[in-house]
Amino acid sequence: MATGSNNQVRYRIGQQPVITARCTNAAGALANPTTITFQTVDPAGAQTSTSNPNAAITNPSTGIWVYTWPGSTGVTVAGMYGWRVKGVGTVIDADDGTFEVLATTVPTP
């Protein structure tokens, strides 16, 4: 079963959320799916889907996948975000969660 997590559950405007997924096979061993997809939903409900290969997704070791918010500005909208990760192919696995982006009272430079 995939287990996904953020390194944080709260971010500030301008930070880059990071979601890490651990994918395992039926025996419980870390294993790589053929394709892994990270989906995010912003506070307005807009969905973004990113699959490997993509610069925002890395695979530092077998069964470990990391999605780093793309772009050079980080998140720009405050509110609650949802995420889902799904692996298909050689391993079928999924998980989901949320993180919050906090508003700032100081304009971003």
pLDDT score of 108 more than 70 = no
In this predicted structure, the answer to whether residue 83 has a pLDDT above a threshold of 50 is yes
Check residue 67 and give its pLDDT: 94
Q: How far apart are CA 33 and CA 25, in angstroms?
A: 9
pLDDT band of 6, cuts 50, 70, 90? low
Please compute the mean of the pLDDT values over residues 63-86 and round it to a whole number: 91
CA distances from 70 to 1, 29, 63, 64, 73 (A): 26, 29, 21, 18, 8
Characterise 94 by phi-psi region: left (phi > 0), alpha (psi -120 to 50), beta (else): beta
Number of neighbouring beta carbons within 10 Å of residue 30 = 13
Q: Which domains does the chain have, with CATH numbers?
A: 3-102 (2.60.40.1930)
pLDDT exceeds 70 at position 38: yes
Specify the pTM: 0.86
Given a cut of 80, is residue 66 above it in pLDDT? yes
For range 37-41, the mean pLDDT = 95
Percentage of residues in the chain having pLDDT higher than 70: 90
